Amino acid sequence: MSEAPPEAIHDVLAAFRLDGRTSLVTGAGRGLGRAMALGLTQAGSRVMLVDVDPEGLAGVEAEIRRAGGQAASAVVDVGDEAQVQACIAETVRLFGGLHVLVNNAGITSRSPFEDLPHEDWERVLRVNLGGTYLCCKHAARPMIAQGGGSIINIASMSGLVGNRGGDNSHYCATKGGVIALTRSLAVEWAGRGIRVNAVAPGYCVTPMTDRLKERDPAFYQELIDRVPLGRFGTGQDLAGAVVYLASDASAYVSGSLLVVDGAYTAW
């Protein structure tokens, strides 16, 4: 009796390509969101850029077009259901479908928890967790209709550990919620062909950390010293993770949390 032939070895690099697919990235007007959007376009995806900052969006859209990519943009408050629903409908109208959703939009504020204004709690919860809920809800409908898709929720290592000196426990609570929502939706939508994963960045070079460096250089250096790899993350570090989870290279990955933190949470 002959043995079954070994499984064919496919082109691994080709599995990372996103040609013919459409991605929607929230919080794409600058920083890490911009880097993720650029990474997706470099892998061949068309991209709908979403943010509340019209100038930032215009700059990123122009950058993608100059590089030969396809992009459109929309000013959207992800905490507003009508705006989210309209944006996703427009994405499908423009590009013929929606294959990848990256829920990156997020905000925070700083306050000792005992002094945290209720409006700050509500505002951060509305954008970080509420916006993820709304975008997942409305993106799932065209994805189900077309036979599947990939949703990538940007969480944070702050959903796994407390932030020393952060004074942003409300932010951490929303990111823990994003992680739990990711795992639940991965199970719920597995039979519909939708994979749902999350990325948990550690400390990254952003305008917020740049301000911390200026305000308290000693504490900034202390945070770097706590990262075993000896540096903060970059947009490129996040872009690679997002392209992987968006692509067929991760076809058997769902309900996972990819921690991109330079081993910060490993010790």
- Could you give the residue numbers annotated as active site? 171
Q: Which of 236, 262, 258, 260 is nearest to 35 (CA)?
A: 236
Which of 134, 141, 139 has the alpha carbon at shortest distance from 88?
139
Report the chain's C-alpha Rg in angstroms.
19
Distance between CA atoms of residues 183 and 191, nearest Å: 14
CA distance 242 to 199: 8
C-alpha–C-alpha distance, residues 163 and 178, integer Å: 17
Of 244, 236, 237, which Cα lies nearest the Cα of 263?
Answer: 237
Strand bridging mode 149-154 / 194-201: parallel
Say which DSSP state 72 is in.
E
CA 120/CA 177 separation, integer angstroms:
17
